[in-house]
Structures are given as structure tokens and as C-alpha cells.
Structure 1
Amino acid sequence: MYELVQAVFNGDEKTALHQLISALSTSGKRYFLRNEILQAFADYCHQSQKPAYFYYSSSIGKLIQYTHEIILEEENTWFVVRPKIANQEVWKLTGDFNSFEQMTPQTLLDVRDRLVNRYQPHILEIDLHPFYESSPRIDDPRNIGQGLAFLNRYLCNQLLTDPQYWVEMLFQALQGLKHDKTLLLLSDRIPSGIHLAKQIKLALKLLNERSPDEPYEKFRFDLQELGFEPGWGNTAARVSQTLQLLDRLIYSPEPGILETFVARVPAVFRVVLISVHGWVGQEDVLGRDETLGQVIYVLEQARSLENELREQIKLAGLDVLGIKPHVIILTRLIPNCEGTFCNLRLEKVEDTENAWILRVPFGEFNPEITNNWISKFEIWPYLEQFALDAEKELLAQFQGKPNLLIGNYSDGNLVAFLLSRRMKVTQCNIAHSLEKPKYLFSNLYWQDLEDKYHFSVQFTADLISMNAAEFIITSSYQEIVGTPDTIGQYESYKCFTMPQMYHVVDGIDLFSPKFNLVPPGVNEKIFFPYSQKENRDSNLRTQIHDLLFTREDPQIFGHLDRPNKRPIFAVTSITSIKNIAGLAECFGQSQALQERCNLILFSSKLRPDETASPEEAEEIQKIHEIIQQYHLNGKIRWIGMRLPSCNLGEAYRVVADSQGIYVHFALFESFGRSILEAMISGLPTFATQFGGSLEIIENQEDGFNVNPTDLEGTAKKILGFVDRCDTHPEHWQEVSEWMSQRIHNRYNWHLHSNQLLQLAKMFTFWNFVAPENNEARDRYMEALFHLIYKPRAEKILEKHMGR
């Protein structure tokens, strides 16, 4: 970057830079983000009649392309430059244009504080860098999110470097495995790693004399004589394969062998999925609007994990000992549950044998608050006591400790941290969506937003849990480090200010192997291709077709003058971020789209008076106004009701029957569950280019990623696709099949659960053989919890007690 800055500063382009800064200063603004900077530079190039190459290829053009922020002060101009993914630099240009120098992150945080008139000279600095300094790190940004593969390679290199030490550590890790009082894998007849290597040879010789299909029970006692306890496999062939993997690992370690061996180690039997605030129920409940996606995710994950664990236990030969998987979804019990089962302490998860929803009530405090559902923004004062109460309930329910804690969302991750510290259990974090990057400048103006959102508590909770977790799973690469043009969700926690509270100088190591890309799946019993006619209920199909196209109902707005036109379909909650109003306006502004297509919107509400949320009410009213403004009556149907999942699955398929299109038009989407559902149903899907959906669709030449702020451009993309389908009728079918197969092959729950359990085993093993600096790190997190989080959470509680 230095060379590029010098090229601009020492050459003819210095004048252009001066003129661009002068043009920005005339706007009256002081803080500019990337899109505004690019637009200002484009305007400057046009007004100055610069040649076409100047915008992209000149030194200043390249510098501007890398620049994500410009801050104007009276004396200096500050550039936040991102020359590559996960790498940010701060440069200061003096007012006299005599100096352009690189600065520290601390100076940038001071500048941002001054910008909002909240600078103070002495402020707490949070710096997590020392805790990652001696840890193994991924070198190539392209490999961020592939922590498991990195650790496999790293550990194999360690085995080769010091084989005697690592074989002994491997032995100790295996020797310590047990389920309750049942010893697994190794007994004390094998006292060391060297002895283990010898005994493996004897065991393999014994197994070679057996039929490959011979059940473990028939030779169990012969293996125990050699020091091998249950857990190696359910047949002679399986046990032999597992021991051969270990033998090869000892003498010629390779990443693939290590990964395959660790996958077979029976180390996880009891799993807790923590989803605290969600209104967690099953069919016809499935959360409130703000938690709907998370609740569906957790229920499907619980089913999949139980299935995967059951299969692994069977293959390990442990089912004959009566060992069963046990999965618990931990959430809060809500006394005033509005006719649902959310006041039931224990509820079995449907389609499982031993997965349960365990609900633990919040401590009473003010029952007017705690007996009711509490928004995710208000839940913070109750989480510490909830964790203490939940610990007792979990120990009683499991009759022992769990092997893995999986937090969901910011509050669930904080509870996972508290439980992990007390129970000494491996902690996994899943954010789904982090609020900080979702709300622009939310950290900078946190004091103005505190009464409504309590971001000071939430962002502190995020810092604590993401650094304390043994591993973090994300749905997409972008979730971690974004794209060359956008900042990742986790990357936004790297360096930021909470003016007059603290500065985060280094909040997370994005190159840590703790980050792992493990996207969720989709329930293929409910969401499957429209072409699978044999799996569809003809009566349900007729009902849903009627609902979407013709039925009159108080919860349905609008009729279709020409119902045979190609439908554009959207299913979403009503928030400004989800931008359903933007889609309606895009449709309204394009007469060509209206001529060729109908728009069918599906949301949970239809009228402003149906919601207590001012944001929802405003968005609903906005859609009604757009319909009136663009005279969309006869061209739009808006259905405001909640459907059971099986009906929603059929809705996607009914739209596909008419060769329709699905559009996900969010301003930002961390992943997008409905995108998976639509694609696997066979609907060609257009989705926002901002967020993880970019990776789901893997933008083809047809261009199915859209910019939700470019209404005209989006309409042109959709019309281009419609034209191709009209010209070549097979085109719709080809895209439909490609999208459906992509979801089936890459986004399925079996893959998700398999990878998740593999990560749990590997990171548990890693923490055993190379515990690093974790205790010091976790003590630091406890200090943040007690000194920053708790006092601020108690302020929320004071307000709740006064209601």
C-alpha cells in the first residue's frame, strides 16, 4: 500500500486527490463510506473530463477502490484503506498536503470519537492480540473459515516433528475417554503410547483371523485382554479399519488419516443447543418474527445431530451397551405463553428418540416482565441467573455433564460461555446474524440508541463469547471477512469504538482456526423439488394454489387480473432490513415487469394495527402506499399469515409449477434460509448481493445476485431472465434443476452435523494436547463480563423493575 500512496502523493495525481477532497468537503458531511467515496470519485472524473482508464487504472483510482472510509477533520483527512480481505490500514493526509503517513488503529478510534464529539483522552482499550500471538494461524485469507483442515495439517506436522511426545499425548487423550462409568477405547492394561503401538499390531493380527462381518460382541473379551475397550467399531472389519488408521497415524501421520480417525472416536454423546430468547416451540409455534429462522434452524439441527450421533454410536459398537445420544435444546420457560407449549418444562422434539426442549424460567425479578416474552434487545439482565439455573437442570436431565455446548445468537452464546466456564465443556458459537454490522454506525452512536437497543451490552457480550469459544461455525465465508468490497460481520469486531466506554484495538483474530465454515441444511422432507410429483399431496397443492392466486380472505390483499402471468414470489418477515417494500417499489417502477409478471408477497402481517413494533408498522404502511402510488391493484397479491412449514414448502412448489421466480431482496442477509427453501424446491432465485447469499447462489453468468438499492438494475436482470425463458423454454428448467441440485449437494443437514461433530472432537483433542493460553484469555473475558457487561445489564434491570 505504501508504494501506491507514494505514487499518488509524489506524482501528478496529487492535484486530483486535492480536488477530490475539496469536492467532498463542500458536501457538508465529514464521514464518507465506500459507496459514497466511489460515487464522488466517479463524479469528479466526469466533471474533470478524465479519460476512462483514470477511474480504475490510475494510482489514485486504485487507492480509491481500496478506500472504505474517509473522515474529514479541520486539519487532516483520514483514509481507512483495505488493500485485501481481512487487512485494514489507516492513513492520515495533513491539511497542507505535505504529509501522507500510516497511523495506528488507536489514532483512528480517537478520530471517530472526535467526530461525534465524545472524545476522551484516557479510555479503556480492549486488545485480544496477545492471546492469539503464540497460537497457530492461517496464512492465506482464502483459507479463512477452514480451521479444521488447518488443524489437521498442523497436528500432523507436530507428530512428525516430535513423534514420541505427540504419540504419548494422543494415547493420553484416548485413555481419558469414557461415557459415565463405561471405559471407552483403552483400559489401564495399556500404560503408554509406546505400548499402545505394540498392542495395535496384536489386535490387528487377532482381527485378521475373524470374518469381516463378525459382530463386536463375539470378540469383545479378546480385545479387552489386549487393553482395548468398546468404541472401536461394531464389526471385525470396522474395528480393524479404525485400528489401522491409528497405526498409520502413529507411524506416518497425514491430515486425511487424522481427520478420518478423529471422526470415528466416540467422544460426543450429549449436546446442548442454547437458544434462549426464542419462543421455542414446534409446528404452529416456531418463534416470533425476530426469532423464527433461528428456531427452525435449532430444531432441524437437533434432529440431525441426534440422527448423526445415533449412527456414530452404532458404528462404534456402543449401542449394544445401551449408550444413546441425548440432545437438549435449552431455552427459557415463558409462563404467559399465549396458548403454546412454551410454559412446558420438557417437550420432546418431534421425529426424534431422545432430543428434548428443556425450558428454564428466568428468575422472577419483576414478573410483569419475566412471565412474558422478552425481546432480544431486553433480555440481558436475566442471562447470568438463567445459566446458573440451567446448569442444575442440565446435570439432572443428563445425569452427567454434556460433551458440547452450542450457543445460538448473541444471548445464547453468552450463556454458552457462562456454562462452559463452570462445567469445563467445549463451547461452539453460532451467531446467525450479528447486530453490529446490521445497524450502520450502531457502535459510534451507541449512546443515542441505548434505550431502544442496548448495544453496549450486546457488543460486549459478542466480544466475550466469540473469543472464549473453542470454535465458531459460520454459514458463509462473507460472514467472517466479507468480500473485497464489503466488511465481514466478524471483521467488524476487529477494531471499533464505543465512545466514552471503550476502544477495541484488536477484538478478534480472523485468521484463527477457530473459524469454520459449516453451512446449515434444509429439511428435505418438507422442502423438495416441485418435480417430485409422487411426494406431493394433490389436495394440499390445490389448497395452496387457491391461497396464492385466487382465494379471498381478510388476511389477503389484492387480486390478480391475469393470474396466468409468471409469478414473482417473496417470503419474508417485515423489517426495513428485509426490504420487502423495496421489492414492491422495484416492481412498481417497472412497467415491463408488470406486463410480464405478477408479484406475490408472503409475510406474517398485513396491516399496521397487527403489530406492536413501530418499525413493522411503518414498513407495512410503506408497502400499502407503494401499491397505491404505482397502481398495482390487479398485479399484486399480499398474503399476511403464518403457514405451517409443510404448507410453505408446497407454496414454493406451486409457484414453481407456474415457472415462477423467487426474489430475496434484503438490504443485507447473513445467510438466508428462505433462499435454500426456494432453490431446493426448484425456483430460480434472485438474491441480494450483500451477505452470505452471494455464496449460496454462486453467481452464474445469468446474474442471479442483485443490488437491492438498484431497483432499475434488478428489474433489468429479472426481465433478462424472463426473456431467455420465453425465447428458450428449456432455460427455466435448466436453471431450476441446477439450483435444486446445488442445495441438495452442498446445503444438507447430514453434512452439517457430520462436520460439526468432527469439529467438536478435534477442538476438544486440540485443547487437551495443546491448551495454549486459554485460561488467561478466559480470565480476561470474565473481567469484561463482570466489569463492563454486568453493570450495564443491571441498568436495564433497574428500568424493568420500575415498570
Structure 2
Amino acid sequence: MYELVQAILNSSEKTDLHQLLSELRSKEKQYFLRNEILQAFRDYCHQSQKPAYFYHSSSLGELIHYTHEIILEEENTWFLVRSRIANQEFWLFKADLSSWELMMPQALLNARDRLVDRYQPQILEIDLRPFYDPLPTISDPRNIGQGLEFLNRYLCNQLFTDPQPWLDELFNVLQGRQYDGIPLLINTRIHSVTQLPQQVKKALSFLGQQPPNEPYEKIHLDLQELGFEPGWGNTASRAHETLELLDQFINAPHPAILEAFVSRIPANFRIVLISIHGWVGQEDVLGRPETAGQVAYVLDQARSLENKLREDITLAGLDILGIQPQVIVLTRLIPNSEGTRCNQRLEKVYGTENAWILRVPFQEFNSKVTQNWISKFEIWPYLETFATDAERELLAQLGGRPNLIIGNYSDGNLVAFLLARRFKSIQCNIAHSLEKTKYLFSDLYWQGFEEQYHFSLQFTADLISMNAADFIIASSYQEIVGTPDTLGQYESYKCFTMPHLYHVVDGIELFSPKFNVVPPGVNENIFFPYSQTAERVNSDRERVHNLLFSREDPHILGYLDNPSKQPIFSFAPITSIKNLAGLAECFGQSQALQERCNLIVITGNLNPDDATTLEEKGEIERLHNIINQYDLHGKSRWLGMRLSNPDLSEAYRVIADCRGIFVHFARFEAFGITILEAMISGLPTFTTQFGGSSEIIQDGENGFHINPTNLEETAKQILDFINRCDINPQYWQEISQRAIKRVRDKYNWQLHTKQLLLCARIQGFWNSVYQENREAMLRYLEALFYLIYKLRAEKLLEQHLQR
């Protein structure tokens, strides 16, 4: 970047830069973001009659395309430059471009504070960098999110170059493995790591002489004499394979061998998944609109984990000891449960043998608040006491401490941090969606957002939990570090200011191997292709068809003059981010679309008075206004109701029967479970290009990317697809089949669960090696919890007590 800046300032392009900045100053604003910067440069090139190459290929053009922020001060100009993914530089130019220099993050944060008149010379600085410096990190940004692969390679390299300390640690891990005091894997007959290879050879020789299917029960005494306890396999052949992997790994460490060996070693028997703030249940209660996707994710994950753990325990030969997997979905008990089971302490997860929803109530401070559902933006004062109470309930329910704790969303991840510290368990974080990137300048202007969103608590909780986590599961690469053009959700926590509260100088190590891209799956027992007619119930199909196209109901707005038109279908919570009103406006502005298609949308509510938040109320009113403004009566239907998953899945299939399409019109989407549901149902799907959802679909191959900010272009894309289907009737079917294949090949729960458990097992070994450094970081994060988070949570609690 130094050479690029020097090339500009030592050439005629310096004048162009000076004139561009002068034009920005004339706009009477000081803060410019990337889209504004690019547009200003585009306008400058046009007005100055620059040749076409100048915008893209000149040195100045290259700098402008790398620039994500420009801040104009009276004497200085700040450039936040991101020349490559996960790398931000802060350049300070004198206003007359007479000098320039690369600055530290603190200087830029001060400039941002000055911009909003919130500068103070002394402010708390949060810097996590020193805790990551001793640890190995990924070097190539393209490999960010592949932490498991990196750790496998790194551990094998260490074993190859300096084997003794790493073999000692491996021996300690194997020797320490137990279940409620029952020793597993190796016993005290194997005294040291030097003896281990010898005993492995003896065990392999013994097992090689046994019938392959000989049950473990018949050979366990012989193996015990050699120093081996249960856990290697349920048959002679399975135990032989596992010990052979250990033998190969000791003698010739290789990542593939390490992964295969670790995948067989029993490590997780009790798992807790935490999802706190939404109505977590299974009948007529699958989350509030703000959390429906998260609740479905957690319940599907619980089923898959229990099934995988049961399979692993059986294959390891541990079922003979009476060991059974236990999976708990930890959430809050809501006394005023509105006729649902959310006021019941325990509820079995359907389709499992030993997975349960465990509900723990919030301690009562003001019953008007704690007896009812609480928005995810208001839940913060109750999390510490919830964690204390949940610790006691979990021990009673599980009969022992959990091996793995998986947090979901910001609140669940914070509770996972608190519980993992107490239980000394592996902590996994799943963000689902980090609010910081959804709301423009939510950090810089946090005081203005505080009354409604309480971002000071949420962002602090995020910083604590994401750094405390042993590993982080992300659904997409973009969730971590974005694209060349956009910041990732986690990347937005790297460096930011909350004026008068704190500066984050270095908030997260994006190259840490703790990050793993492990996308979720879809429940194919419920969501399956429309073409699988033998699995569909005709009466359900007819009922859902009538619901979508013709039934009159107080919770349905609109009728269809011509129900035979191709349906455009969308299902989402009614929030500004999900942008269903934007889809209706896109449809309303295109006469051609209205002539060819009907619009059908499903949301949680239809009436503004039924909204649970001010934002939802505003979006409901906006959608009503757009329908009236463009006179979409007779061309659209709006179902303001919650459908059960079986009915929703049939709705996707009914739309596919009609050769319709699914449109996900969100301004930003971290991932998008509904996209997977639509695709596996066989619906050609159009999804926002902003966020991780664009990684699900390969544009033009198995679906289409759209820009929800460009209504005209989106309408044209949909019309082009419809016209192409008219010319080639097989085209709709081709996209449909590719969509189904894409989900089945890449987005399935079996693959997700396998990778997640592998991460947990490898991380357990990793932690034992770097425990000292990790403990120092956790102490630092505890200080942030008690000195910042807790104090602000107590202030919010005071407000709740006055309600």
C-alpha cells in the first residue's frame, strides 16, 4: 500500500486526488462509506472526462476501490484502506496532501470520536492482541475458517519436528479420558509415552488373531491386561483399526490420520446447547419472528448430535458400560407461556431418545417483566443469575458436568462463557447473526440506539464470548471476514469505538484457528423435494394450496384475480433487515412482473397492533402502505400467521408444483435457513448478494443472486428467468434439480455434526497444550464482564424495575 500511495502523490494523480477530496468537502459532511466514495469517484471521472481505464486501473482508482471509509477533518483526511481481506490500514493525509503516514488504530478511533463530538483524551482501550501473539495463526486469508484443518497440519508438523513434548501431551490426554470416574482408553499398566507404542504393537498382534466380529466383551480382559480400557471399538476389527491409526500417527504423523483417529476417540457424552431468549418449543411455538430460524437450527442440531453421539458410543464399545448420550437444549422458562409448553421445565425433543429442552426461569426482579417473553435486546440483566441457576439444574439433569457447551446468539454465547468457566467445559460459539453490522454506525452512535437496542451490552457480550470460545462455528466464510468489498460480521469487531465507553484497538484475531466454517443442514424428514409425491399427503397439499391461493381468513390480506399466474413466494420475519416491504415495492414498480406473476408472502403478523417491537410495527405499516400505493390487490396475498414446519414445508412444495420461485430479499443475510428449505423443496431461489447467503447459491448454476437495493434490476432478473423458462420449458426443472443437489451435497446435518465434534475433540487437545495463555485471556475477559457488562446490565435492570 505504501508504494501505491507514493505512486499517486508523485504523479499527476495527486491533483485528481486533491480535486476529489475537495468535491467531498463540498458535500458538507465528513464521514463517507465505500459506496459513497465509489460514487463520488465515478462522478469525478465522468465530469473530468477521464478515460475509461482511469476509474478501474489507475493508481488512484486502485486506492479508491480499496478504501472503505474517508473521514474529513479541517487539517487532515483519514483513509481506512482494506487492500486485502482481513487487513485494515489507517492512513492520515494532510489536507493539502503535503504529507501522509500510516497510523495506529487508536488515532483513527480518536478521529471518529471527534467526528461525533464525543472525544475524550482518556478512555478504556480493549486490546486482545497480546493473548493471541504466542499462538500459531493461519497465514493465508483464503484459509480463514478452516481451523480444524490448520490445527491438524500444525500438530502433525510439531510431532514431526519436536515429537517428545507433543507425544507426552497426547499420552496425558489419552490417560486422562474417563466417564464419571470410569477409566477409558488406557490404564495405569501403561506408565509412560515410551511404553505406549510397545503396548499398541502387542494389542494389534492380539487383535489380529481374533475373529473380526468378535465382540469387545469377549476380549476386554485381555486388552485390559495390556493396558487398554474400553473406547477403542465394539469389535476386534474396529479396535484394531483404531489402534492401528494411533500406531501410524505416532510413527508417521499425517493430518488425515490424525483426523481419522480423533474422530474415533470418545470425548463428548453430555452436550448443552444454549438458546435463551426465544420461545423454544416444538408445537405452535417455534420461536418469535426474531428467533424462529435460530430455534429450528438448535432443535435440528440437537437431534443430529444425539444421533451421532449414540452411534459413536456404540462403535467405541461404550454402550456395554451403560453410557448413553445426553443432549440438553437450555433455554428460559416463561411462566406466561400463552398456551404453549414454554412454562414446563422439561420437554423431550421429538425424534430423539435422550435429548431434552430444559427450561430455567429468570429470577424475579419485576414479575411484569420476568413472567413474560423478553426481547433479545432487553434480556441482558438476567443472564448472570440465569447461568448460576442453570448450573445447578444442569448438574441435576445430566448427573455430571457437560463436556461441550454450545452457545447460540449473543446472549446464549455469554451464558456459555459463564458456564464453561464453571464446568471447565469446551465452549463453542455460534453467532447466527451479529447485530453490529446490521445497523449503520451502531457503534459510533451507540448512545442514540441505547434506549431501544442496548448495543453497549450486546457488543461487550460479543467481545467477551467470541474471544473466550474454544472454537467458533460460522455458517459461511463471509460471516467471518466478508468479501473484498465488504467487512465480515466478526471482522467488524476488530477495531471500533463506542465513544465515552471504550475503544476496541484489537478485538478479535481473524486468523485464529478457532474459526471454522461449518454450515448447517436442513431437516429432510420435513423439508424434501416436491417431486417426492409418495411422501406427500394429498389432503395436506390441497389444504395448504387453498391457504396460499384462495382461503379467506382474518389473518390473510388479499385475493388473486388470476391464481394460475406463476407465484413469487417469500417467507420471513417482518423486519427492516428481511425487507419484505422492499420485495413488495419491487413487485409493485414492475408492471411486467404483475402481468406474469402473483406475489405471496408469509410473515408472523398482519396487524400493526399485534407487533412485538416498534420496528416490526413500522415494517407492517410500510408493507400495508406499499400494497395500497401500487394497488396490488388482486395480485398479492399476505399471510400474517405462523405455520407449523410441516405446513411450511408443504407450502414450499405447493409453490414448486406451480413452477413458482422463492425470493429472499433481505438487505443482509448472515446465512439463511429458509434458503436451504426452499432449495431442497425444489424451488428456484433468488437470494440477496449481501452476506453469507450468497455462498449457498452459485449464481446462475443452482439459483440467482440479487441486489435488493436495485429494484429495477431485480425485477428484470426474475423476468429474464421466467422468459427463459418459456423458451426452454426444461430450464425451470434444471435449476430446481441443481438446487436440490446443492443442498444435499453441501448442507446436511450429518456433515455438520461430524465436523463440529471433530473441532471439539481437537480443541480439547489444543487447550491442554496452551492452557496457561488461555487462562490469562479468560481472566482479562472476566474483568470486562464485571467492570463493563455487569455495571451496564444493572442500569438496565433498574429501568425494568420501574415498569
Report the TM range for the smaller structure's normalisation. Answer: over 0.9
Deviation at 1:227? 0.9
Deviation at 1:728? 0.6
Q: Tell me the SS of whatever aligns to 1:773.
A: helix
> Distance between the aligned counterparts of 1:369 and 1:552, measured in 2?
36
Q: Tell me the SS of whatever aligns to 1:336.
A: coil
Deviation at 1:699? 2.1
In structure 2, the partner of 1:461 is 461
Q: Does 1:247 align with 2:247?
A: yes
Deviates more, 1:125-134 or 1:366-375: 366-375
In structure 1, the partner of 2:58 is 58
In structure 2, the partner of 1:330 is 330
In structure 1, the partner of 2:121 is 121
Q: Tell me the SS of whatever aligns to 1:219.
A: helix
In structure 2, the partner of 1:675 is 675
Equivalent residue pairs, number: 803
In structure 2, the partner of 1:647 is 647
Q: Does 1:602 align with 2:588?
A: no
Q: Is the CA contact (8 Å cut-off) linking 2:558 and 2:633 kept in structure 1?
A: yes
Q: Does 1:193 align with 2:200?
A: no
Deviates more, 1:83-92 or 1:213-222: 213-222
Q: Is the CA contact (8 Å cut-off) linking 2:579 and 2:665 kept in structure 1?
A: yes
Q: Does 1:143 align with 2:143?
A: yes
Q: Is the CA contact (8 Å cut-off) linking 2:521 and 2:747 kept in structure 1?
A: yes
Q: Tell me the SS of whatever aligns to 1:331.
A: strand
> Distance between the aligned counterparts of 1:437 and 1:348, measured in 2?
36
Letter paired with 1:617: K
Q: Tell me the SS of whatever aligns to 1:49.
A: coil
Q: Tell me the SS of whatever aligns to 2:153.
A: helix
In structure 2, the partner of 1:713 is 713
In structure 2, the partner of 1:770 is 770
Deviation at 1:698? 2.3
Q: Tell me the SS of whatever aligns to 1:342.
A: helix
In structure 1, the partner of 2:321 is 321
> Distance between the aligned counterparts of 1:286 and 1:644, measured in 2?
8
Letter paired with 1:556: I
Q: Is the CA contact (8 Å cut-off) linking 1:530 and 1:682 kept in structure 2?
A: yes
Superimposed CA distance per residue, residues 734-788 of structure 1 (whole angstroms, 9 cap, x where no aligned partner)? 1100011111111111111111111111101111133251111000001101111
In structure 2, the partner of 1:408 is 408
In structure 2, the partner of 1:18 is 18
> Distance between the aligned counterparts of 2:795 and 2:398, measured in 1?
35
Deviation at 1:703? 7.0
Q: Is the CA contact (8 Å cut-off) linking 1:702 and 1:721 kept in structure 2?
A: no
In structure 2, the partner of 1:373 is 373
In structure 1, the partner of 2:478 is 478
> Distance between the aligned counterparts of 1:772 and 1:670, measured in 2?
34
Deviates more, 1:135-144 or 1:413-422: 413-422
Q: Is the CA contact (8 Å cut-off) linking 2:697 and 2:703 kept in structure 1?
A: no
Superimposed CA distance per residue, residues 344-367 of structure 1 (whole angstroms, 9 cap, x where no aligned partner)? 111111111101111111111112
> Distance between the aligned counterparts of 2:283 and 2:703, measured in 1?
36
Deviation at 1:634? 1.4
Q: Is the CA contact (8 Å cut-off) linking 2:703 and 2:739 kept in structure 1?
A: no
In structure 2, the partner of 1:181 is 181
Alignment of 1:199-348 (within 5 A): 199-348=199-348
Q: Is the CA contact (8 Å cut-off) linking 1:171 and 1:193 kept in structure 2?
A: yes
In structure 2, the partner of 1:592 is 592
Alignment of 1:774-789 (within 5 A): 774-789=774-789
> Distance between the aligned counterparts of 1:525 and 1:218, measured in 2?
39
> Distance between the aligned counterparts of 1:271 and 1:612, measured in 2?
32
Deviation at 1:219? 1.0
In structure 2, the partner of 1:38 is 38
Deviation at 1:254? 0.2
> Distance between the aligned counterparts of 2:74 and 2:778, measured in 1?
42
Q: Does 1:750 align with 2:750?
A: yes
Deviation at 1:50? 1.1
> Distance between the aligned counterparts of 1:248 and 1:770, measured in 2?
25
> Distance between the aligned counterparts of 2:228 and 2:33, measured in 1?
62
Deviation at 1:700? 3.1
Q: Does 1:73 align with 2:47?
A: no
Superimposed CA distance per residue, residues 223-272 of structure 1 (whole angstroms, 9 cap, x where no aligned partner)? 11111111101111110000000000100000000011001000100000
Q: Is the CA contact (8 Å cut-off) linking 1:135 and 1:772 kept in structure 2?
A: no
In structure 2, the partner of 1:628 is 628
> Distance between the aligned counterparts of 1:701 and 1:604, measured in 2?
32
Alignment of 1:509-658 (within 5 A): 509-658=509-658
> Distance between the aligned counterparts of 2:610 and 2:786, measured in 1?
40
Deviates more, 1:703-712 or 1:490-499: 703-712
Q: Is the CA contact (8 Å cut-off) linking 2:684 and 2:702 kept in structure 1?
A: no
Question: Runs of at least 4 residues of structure 1 off by over 6 A?
Answer: none
> Distance between the aligned counterparts of 1:319 and 1:145, measured in 2?
35
Letter paired with 2:402: P
Q: Is the CA contact (8 Å cut-off) linking 1:173 and 1:769 kept in structure 2?
A: no
In structure 1, the partner of 2:153 is 153
Q: Is the CA contact (8 Å cut-off) linking 1:303 and 1:349 kept in structure 2?
A: yes
Deviation at 1:304? 0.6
Q: Is the CA contact (8 Å cut-off) linking 2:581 and 2:623 kept in structure 1?
A: yes
CA separation of 1:102/1:769 partners in 2, compared to 1, >3 Å: closer, same or farther? closer
Deviation at 1:37? 0.7
Deviation at 1:610? 2.0
> Distance between the aligned counterparts of 1:532 and 1:407, measured in 2?
36
Superimposed CA distance per residue, residues 311-350 of structure 1 (whole angstroms, 9 cap, x where no aligned partner)? 0001101112211000001111111111111111111111
In structure 2, the partner of 1:386 is 386
Letter paired with 1:682: G
> Distance between the aligned counterparts of 2:701 and 2:714, measured in 1?
15
Superimposed CA distance per residue, residues 418-453 of structure 1 (whole angstroms, 9 cap, x where no aligned partner)? 111111111110110001111110110111111111
> Distance between the aligned counterparts of 1:150 and 1:615, measured in 2?
42
Deviation at 1:613? 2.1
Q: Tell me the SS of whatever aligns to 2:771.
A: coil
Deviation at 1:165? 2.4
Q: Is the CA contact (8 Å cut-off) linking 1:688 and 1:708 kept in structure 2?
A: yes
Letter paired with 2:371: N
Deviates more, 1:450-459 or 1:266-275: 450-459
Q: Is the CA contact (8 Å cut-off) linking 2:18 and 2:96 kept in structure 1?
A: no
Q: Is the CA contact (8 Å cut-off) linking 1:269 and 1:402 kept in structure 2?
A: yes
Deviation at 1:702? 8.4
Q: Tell me the SS of whatever aligns to 2:427.
A: strand
> Distance between the aligned counterparts of 1:166 and 1:105, measured in 2?
37
Superimposed CA distance per residue, residues 507-566 of structure 1 (whole angstroms, 9 cap, x where no aligned partner)? 000000000011111000110111111111111011111111111111111111121111
Q: Does 1:28 align with 2:50?
A: no
Superimposed CA distance per residue, residues 471-504 of structure 1 (whole angstroms, 9 cap, x where no aligned partner)? 0000000000000000000000000001011100
Deviation at 1:701? 5.9
In structure 2, the partner of 1:103 is 103
Q: Which TM-score applies when normalising by structure 2? A: 0.99
Alignment of 1:83-98 (within 5 A): 83-98=83-98
Q: Is the CA contact (8 Å cut-off) linking 1:9 and 1:100 kept in structure 2?
A: no
Q: Tell me the SS of whatever aligns to 1:427.
A: strand
Identity in percent: 69
Deviates more, 1:123-132 or 1:24-33: 24-33
Q: What RMSD in Å do the two structures reach over aligned CA positions?
A: 1.0
Q: Tell me the SS of whatever aligns to 1:527.
A: coil
Q: Tell me the SS of whatever aligns to 1:567.
A: strand
In structure 1, the partner of 2:399 is 399
> Distance between the aligned counterparts of 2:471 and 2:785, measured in 1?
20
Q: Is the CA contact (8 Å cut-off) linking 1:283 and 1:645 kept in structure 2?
A: no
Q: Tell me the SS of whatever aligns to 1:717.
A: helix
CA separation of 1:703/1:697 partners in 2, compared to 1, >3 Å: closer, same or farther? closer
Q: Is the CA contact (8 Å cut-off) linking 1:366 and 1:800 kept in structure 2?
A: yes
Superimposed CA distance per residue, residues 651-688 of structure 1 (whole angstroms, 9 cap, x where no aligned partner)? 00110111111000000000001000000101010000
